[in-house]
Structure 1
Amino acid sequence: MDYDLDDDPQRVQRDAVWEWLSTQAYWGRWRSRADVEAQIDASWRVVGAYRRDTGEQVGFARAVSDGVGFAYLADVFVVEGHRGHGLGKRLVKLMIDDGPGGDMRWVLFTGDAHGLYRGFGFTEPDRTAMVRPARAGT
């Protein structure tokens, strides 16, 4: 199966993104639809993966950034039936290496995809990093 990837925010199929994030995302099922919409709208950049034959969105990633030196990668996913085609790597590459933030300091939080992100230079935080955890319930 062939896929197209691009960073056109108008192409994002918000229903598909909401469906996956609200049912599959262990990291953020607490969000409301309005929260997800606001996050997409406020994103510095979004990248989607789409089936070439149907146009169906099957992958997504978004980033928040100051546009100069720092970016946060979030909500990266590939729909289960489309995994194994390298789409996760392609999404992250387009977002980070092939986009305007290639030289920025990037951060992310993940509980299960360390191998994927290590391939893009992510490592555990050094002594300069501090994190304030989310408050209970989020």
Structure 2
Amino acid sequence: MDEKVCGYFISTDKSKLNFNVIYNFIANTYWAKGIPKSVMQSAINNSMCFGVYNAHNEQVGFARVVTDKATFAYLADVFIVPHLQGNGLSKLLVKTIVEHPELQGLRRFLLATSDAHGLYAQYGFKPIDNPALLMQISPGNVYGENNSET
């Protein structure tokens, strides 16, 4: 699936992904600081991935969805490279994800964010109705740094 707008396009074709771009960004985030390359590669291999590319096929953004494509999805590792932030690419990315045909009719679509609530709210995400329903195992510091999940 490819979605094109303003000289940029989004693709779910994993063969287009530039692992170095993804890893170099994610390994320096607050949520996955220091993630080992092998863990990031496994996360990509086992997720539905969305790459954002410019007209020269250079990767400028990414997101992945952990899903069974029937009942549940979790949106993770969303980013647009810093020099292109603020020009609508993150909106295009999230819109493309929530409208993807394989992600329709889900019982629950989750994400965690500390700083982008406004972006996700535009596409139907809202605070958990009953947070007491959700539980987690969160060992913390799994990559050797102080981090929290997005």
TM-score for the superposition, normalised by structure 2: 0.84
SS of corresponding position for 2:35: coil
Alignment size in residue pairs: 135
Q: How does 1:36-55 map to 2 (within 5 A)?
A: 36-43=40-47, 45-52=48-55, 54-55=56-57
Task: Report the Cα distance in structure 1 between the residues aligned to 2:11 and 2:123, rounded to whole angstroms.
Answer: 19
Return the match for 2:93 from 91, 94, 110: 91
Task: Report the Cα distance in structure 2 between the residues aligned to 1:135 and 1:95, rounded to whole angstroms.
Answer: 29
Task: Report the Cα distance in structure 2 between the residues aligned to 1:106 and 1:116, rounded to whole angstroms.
Answer: 15
Q: Which amino acid aligns with 2:69?
A: G
Question: Which position in structure 1 is the counterpart of 2:34?
Answer: 30
* Stretches of structure 1 lacking an aligned partner (at least 5 in a row): none
1:67 aligns with 2:72: no
Task: Report the Cα distance in structure 1 between the residues aligned to 2:19 and 2:11, rounded to whole angstroms.
Answer: 15
How far residue 98 of structure 1 moved from its aligned partner, in angstroms, is 2.9
Q: Which amino acid aligns with 2:57?
A: G
% identity of equivalent residues:
33
Question: Which position in structure 2 is the counterpart of 1:123?
Answer: 126
Question: Which position in structure 1 is the counterpart of 2:147?
Answer: none
Question: Which position in structure 2 is the counterpart of 1:106?
Answer: 109
CA displacement 1:69-111 (0-9 Å, x = unmatched): 1100000000011112211111111112133113212000100
Task: Report the Cα distance in structure 2 between the residues aligned to 1:49 and 1:129, rounded to whole angstroms.
Answer: 34
Question: Which position in structure 2 is the counterpart of 1:81?
Answer: 83
Question: Which position in structure 2 is the counterpart of 1:134?
Answer: 138
CA displacement 1:39-85 (0-9 Å, x = unmatched): 00011x11111111x22101000001112011000000000111122
Alpha-carbon distance change, 33 to 11 in structure 1, aligned in 2, over 3 angstroms:
same
Return the match for 2:14 from 1, 5, 9: 9
Question: Which position in structure 2 is the counterpart of 1:19?
Answer: 24
